[in-house]
Structure 1
Amino acid sequence: MRLLFDARYTRPGRHDGISRYGASLLAATADLAAEDPGLELAMLVSDRRQLAMLPDLPHVSGPSPVSAAEAATALVVNRYAPDVVYSPMQTMGSVGRRHGLILTLHDLIYYDHPQPPGDLPAAVRAGWRLYHRAWWPQRLLLDRADAVVTVSRTTRALIAEHRLTRRPVHVVPNAPRPGSVVDPQAALERPARPDRVLLYMGSFLPYKNVETLLRVAGRLPDHELHLLSGISPARRAELESLVPAGARVVFHDGVSEARYTELLGRAAALLTASRAEGYGLPVVEALAAGTPVVCSDLPIFREVAGEAASFVAPDDDAGFAAAVRALEDPAHRRRQVLAGLDRARAWSWTDSATALLEVARGVHGRRRNAHGRHPAVPVDVPADEDVRP
């Protein structure tokens, strides 16, 4: 099987959420392909700088996924003659395709919270808002695929609830970085944290509800809240104006992987007050690092963290502060750390890559068996079973 992996969402220099998902899943898939002589794996890129963030694989070039030329991507891909193409997003151009196609829908957040990421081109942001005003554009895109992937059972249930596709929907989850789950004894033997660092990793879009975390910092003046992600000057000024008197808040405007790991290793907790998530990768990264998590009481966080996190209503800053204070009890903290490490081990990129390859082989086999050649229309394949607890 010739599998082409769409790596055009890789962000040069520093991963964002989609970039990390795609690059991590591709790396694990490449490891499996190296042991499978029947699998030929290549990747599609749109910027040569992306290659530095990706495994050493054959690659082909295509248009930027946020350009007008995206509509013709399938015609470009046809030249490579793949059996199946996988994209970590749902907007890949499919007109005229002669290959199997698997698309990814991470979440339905932007139907309730339609503000797009600010780093997208203005025309794309305008189209984004229009796209999320109705369900039919999503249905049209997803039904052009042979199969759909999402990152959680929670989102798969929402896709079914809104009848977004007639195609089967498979769960291929996020996971912590390989080798990042720390040894339990090492986590428990860490020295006391006199600086009492609190971390937030994520965007600053309104649904992320960082404003609640600022109020939490005001209730915990002996702690220091570190906001780790890149932020626009305008949004930073807006949030800085909301920092309560006496609160200690540090804006990093992006951190390296090494710095992120170092901060996780000495933090009192990772906080997120998000009102919606598709998965919540920082939660799993913190659990893997032996760092307690205090997060919104959302179905997706319950799915991802199980009982290993402290759950609070998104706008309850007093509840967040109380949950952080509770971690000062050594016995409670020990329980949270051990439960978090155990939970983090439930997710791995190898398992996710295995699940993706099962979907791809199913698409390839059914297309070949049904037509004896590349068919002109998508063919349904059955949905997989849950791949995670």
Structure 2
Amino acid sequence: MTIAVDLVLATRPNASTGIERYAINLFEALRRIAPEAIAFVDSRAAVPTGPGVVRVPGGFRGWLTLPLSRAWREARVKSVVCPAFPPSPLLLATRKPVVRIIHDDFPWTRGEAMNLRGRALFRHAEAAMAPHYAQVLAPTALMADSLATILRRPVGVIGNAPGIDLALAPEPARTEPGVIAVGTVEPRKNYDAVLALADSLATHAAPWTVRVVGRQGWGDIAASWESQVAARAGRLEWHGHASDAALLALYQSATCFVSMSLAEGFNMPLVEAGSLGLPVVCSDIAIHRQVAPPWARFVPLTIAPADLARVVEEAAALPPAPEAVQAYRHRFSWDGIAQALVERLRQA
């Protein structure tokens, strides 16, 4: 059985959000237990490399025409996994069983905040193609239930795990108080609360720095983002699309992770931060209640900036015990997710 993983859009240059990381990490784990697995990747991609990687023309044109390519014909694909983006409509025409992993209900519940291409791809095209997928999976039970209602079909749970190799993290260097927030700069991430937190922490005696890691996305917050950062020079840093090594170093130098998201499908950065032993302060939303570590502090979305700053300071002063961090880290495994996926494919 040749398992093909469609990573054409997930590996396009300068595109690395949670779903791209998920897709690449899943393939890396999948080929360890299923050597027959292959991945179609953008020919310009730096990762993944090695066995099973098939380079094809990239971008949206390459994604659309993948089933017409010579590489597709030669692969003799038995089934297809789409762990980041919907499949090309032409791929469905090949009648190969498609397993689609959908990470979030955001395109349907808050889609007005997405750009035109995002709405067309994730909302309209996805909804039209979903009835033809062999299986639809989601990273959490909460998201599976929501998607099942939206798509009017069964949705299974496949799991999620950290997007970067935590074993490569340097030793902690938390010498000065600092907050880290990670995620694309877009409305759902509620960076207005993070900006207000930076202002509030600036009034405290200790010199706090708020560091944001994530590419500039869409919406009003993205349009004004550079000026917002410039206005807070010295207390707010924007690291944009950081490399894995840079992100790990930023995690290890921070004293608290903050996420004030309005909604999430999983929140991979939160799990990464918790797995590295960071104190966590996050918005009190349902998905955070499912995936946040036991020591996380939940705050209402309506919390005042001064109160949020106080909670952050309190959390940073009480880091979790090493035993608690190890127990939390054990909950999330790429190998376990890949094994569950193989079992589903063999049952189909």
SS of 2:75's partner is coil
Change (3 A) 1:65 1:115: farther
Bigger Rg over Cα: 1
| Alpha-carbon distance in 2 for matches of 1:108, 1:265 | 31
Give the partner amino acid of 2:110: H
Contact persistence 1:213–1:273 (CA under 8 A): yes
Which whole-Å CA distance do the structure 2 matches of 1:250 and 1:227 have between them?
6
Query: Is the Cα contact below 8 Å between 1:176 and 1:344 reproduced in 2?
Result: no
Change (3 A) 1:328 1:234: closer
1:88-132 deviation per Cα after TM superposition (whole angstroms, max 9, x unaligned): 135212342132111121111133332566xxxxxxx42534677
Task: Specify the alignment match of 1:170 in structure 2.
Answer: 156
Rounded to whole Å, the distance in 2 between the matches of 1:25 and 1:225 is 31
The one-character-per-residue Cα deviations of 1:164-187 (angstroms, maximum 9, x if unpaired) are 143x4222222125762699xx98
- Tell me the distance in 1 between the aligned counterparts of 2:73 and 2:242: 39
Aligned sequence identity (%): 25
Retained in 1: the 8 A contact 2:278–2:320? Answer: no
Q: Distance in 2 between matches of 1:280 and 1:321?
A: 21
Which residue of the partner structure matches residue 279 of structure 1?
A: 266
Describe the shift of the 1:49–1:98 C-alpha distance in structure 2 as closer, same or farther (beyond 3 A).
Answer: same
Q: 1:97 aligns with which of 89, 94, 97?
A: 94
Quickly say closer, same or farther: Cα 1:11–1:83, change in 2 above 3 A: same
Mapped partners of 1:128, 1:194: distance in 2 = 41
User: Map of 1:295-334 to 2, 5 A cutoff?
Assistant: 295-316=282-303, 317-329=305-317, 332-334=318-320
Give the residue type in structure 2 aligned to 1:225: V
Residues 308 and 18 from structure 1, CA distance in 2 versus in 1: closer, same or farther, beyond 3 angstroms? same
Q: Which SS does the other structure have where 1:290 is aligned? A: coil
Q: What residue number does 2:11 align with? A: 10
- CA-to-aligned-CA distance 1:138-178 (integer Å, 9 cap, x gap): 4421111100121111100101233x143x42222221257
CA distance in 1, matches of 2:119, 2:147: 19
Contact 2:4 2:80 in 1 (8 A): yes
* Number of corresponding residues: 334
Q: Distance in 1 between matches of 2:301 and 2:167?
A: 27
Contact 2:12–2:59, Cα closer than 8 Å, also in 1: no
* 8 Å Cα contact 1:89/1:105 also seen in 2: yes
How far 1:56 moved relative to its partner? 1.0
Report the Cα offset of residue 258 of structure 1. 1.4
3-state secondary structure, aligned to 1:333: coil
Structure 1: 5+ residue runs without aligned partners? 35-39, 118-124, 364-389
With normalisation by structure 1, the TM-score equals 0.76
Task: Give the match for residue 121 of structure 1.
Answer: none
Which position in structure 1 is the counterpart of 2:148?
Answer: 160
Question: 2:327 pairs with 342, 365, 374, which one?
Answer: 342
The structural deviation recorded for 1:292 is 1.2
TM-score normalised over the length of structure 2: 0.84
Query: What secondary structure, in the 3-state scheme, does the structure 1 residue paired with 2:319 have?
Result: helix
The answer on 1:42 being equivalent to 2:33 is no
In 1, Cα distance between equivalents of 2:226 and 2:168: 36
Look up the match of 1:268: 255
**Corresponding position of 2:28:** 27
- What residue in structure 2 maps to residue 54 of structure 1? 48
1:83 aligned to which of 53, 74, 78: 78
Of 288-297 and 312-321, more deviation after overlay is shown by 312-321
C-alpha distance after superposition, 1:321-372 (max 9, x if no partner): 222121254xx3235x653442122001101111111121122xxxxxxxxx
Q: Does the residue aligned with 1:5 lie in a helix, a strand or coil?
A: strand
Q: Counterparts of 1:301 and 1:354 in 2: how far apart (Å)?
A: 25
Q: CA RMSD in A?
A: 3.0
User: For the residues of structure 1 that align with 2:216 and 2:111, how far apart are their CA atoms?
Assistant: 19
82-91 vs 174-183, which deviates more?
174-183
Partner of 1:376: none
> What is the CA–CA distance in structure 1 between the aligned matches of 2:178 and 2:316, rounded to whole Å?
13
The one-letter amino acid of 2:213's match is L
| C-alpha contact (below 8 Å) 2:137/2:156 kept by paired residues | yes
**Comparing 315-324 with 260-269, which one deviates more in the overlay?**
315-324
For residue 239 of structure 1, report the CA deviation from its aligned partner: 2.7
Higher mean C-alpha deviation, range 229-238 or range 260-269: 229-238
